[in-house]
Amino acid sequence: MPPFHLAFRVDDIESTRSFYVDRLGCGQGREAVNWIDFDFFGHQISAHVGPPPGEVLMTRVDDEEVPLAHFGAVLDWPEWERVGARLEQAGARFVIAPHVRFRNEPAEQGTFFVADPSGNVLEFKSFRHHQAMFGLPVAAAA
């Protein structure tokens, strides 16, 4: 699958670099005075300094409120656990702590949400059955 590119707003370059490189372990790419690129689990994300965002909107997923605007990565289960542990050890405050959603269902997934220093919310998830990510029947990929 080809990598995607995502550009998003941040408050400043230094706190952004610290979060994505030091806390998440992302590689750093090119940078300028008002933007910086990262290797986000094989994808290119570009953080651009910009004006503050508006109100944070929420939506319901599996009986919990989650931030409507967010991005993230789908990881293999062991990597999902490693990233969660790395953030916890670094003292990150989770928006939603690591937990399993849709337990014992075909779409069972581990998920957690964390905010970067600019308030951008990231979700990290892992599916027990990777093919369920797009709603494919679990038995179809076996």
- 31-35, 37-41, 104-108, 116-120: range with lowest mean pLDDT: 104-108
Size of the chain in residues: 142
pLDDT over threshold 50, residue 124: yes
pTM equals 0.84
Digit-coded pLDDT (tens) for 16-73: 999 999 999 999 999 999 999 999 999 999 999 998 877 778 888 878 899 888 999 9
Instruction: Give all strands (DSSP E) within 18-68, no chain letters.
Output: 27-32, 35-40, 43-49, 58-61, 64-67
What's the CA gap between 66 and 95, in Å, rounded?
9
Digit-coded pLDDT (tens) for 13-31: 999 999 999 999 999 999 9
Parallel/antiparallel/unpaired status of strands 109-115 and 121-127: antiparallel
pLDDT over threshold 80, residue 103: yes
Q: How confident is the model at residue 7 (pLDDT cuts 50, 70, 90)?
A: very high
